[in-house]
Amino acid sequence: MKPKYSILAAVSALVLVLDQWSKLYIDKSMTLHSSYPVIEGFFNITYLRNKGAAFGILASSSYRLPFFLLVSSIAVIVILVAVSKMRDDQTWNVASLSLIFSGALGNMIDRVRLGEVIDFLDVHWKGHHWPAFNIADSAICVGVFILAVDMLLEERREKKNPPTPDAH
């Protein structure tokens, strides 16, 4: 197996197992809307369900489920195609896309299984709460961040070492 596919498989398996296990654990051990402080005044484990996307977008829309499943499916396919076209030395790109891939898949599994996504990570500061999220959401955000940083670094590398024109 090529290194890029090993990275994709390993990262995706790890994130999917952690994401699905944590959601199942929260669902079985907590009641909906219950909350436990982890770091007082900053971080709680709070069991919520989100029918929408980030910040509850489209939560009340009648076409939300087909729309989210379609978008997730397209993202998964596009990422698989992108990884297949990457060079083996593009490990950071592959790792970041693997995080995005597994996050999209993790939330897609919830939508197929439950019609909504289980969220439970609740960050807040002085009464201001960030919308609750989960491991899949975290993987997507970290993946996008790593991809952006790697793209900026690649741009710098290309400016320092511009490709040499072919001598004919």
CA–CA distances in Å: residue 153 to residues 6, 43, 148, 157: 24, 33, 9, 6
Give a yes or no: residue 165 inside a domain: no
Cα distances from 54 to residues 69, 78, 87, in angstroms, run: 15, 21, 32
What residue type is 79 in one-letter code? Answer: I
Residue 157's SS3 state is helix
Collapse the DSSP code of 140 into the 3-class scheme (helix H, G, I; strand E, B; otherwise coil) and give the result: helix
Domain-embedded: residue 168: no
Residues designated as active site: 119, 137
Domain range enclosing 28: 3-158
Mean of pLDDT over the chain: 88
Task: Kindly state whether residue 22 falls inside one of the protein's structural domains.
Answer: yes
In which band, very low, low, confident or very high, does the pLDDT at 69 lie, cut at 50, 70 and 90?
confident
Question: Structure pTM?
Answer: 0.85
* Dist CA 131 CA 41 (whole Å): 15
What are 128's strand-pairing partners?
A: 125
- Match 């909350």 to its residue by tokens: 35
Q: Sorting pLDDT into bands at 50, 70 and 90, what band is 155?
A: confident
Does the residue 96 lie in any domain?
Answer: yes
Measured CA to CA, the distance from residue 101 to residue 142 in angstroms comes to 12
**Domains in the chain, number:** 1
Percent of the chain at pLDDT exceeding 90: 64
Whether 164 is in a domain gets the answer no
Query: Is residue 32 one of the residues assigned to a domain?
Result: yes
Q: What is the mean pLDDT of residues 55-76?
A: 71
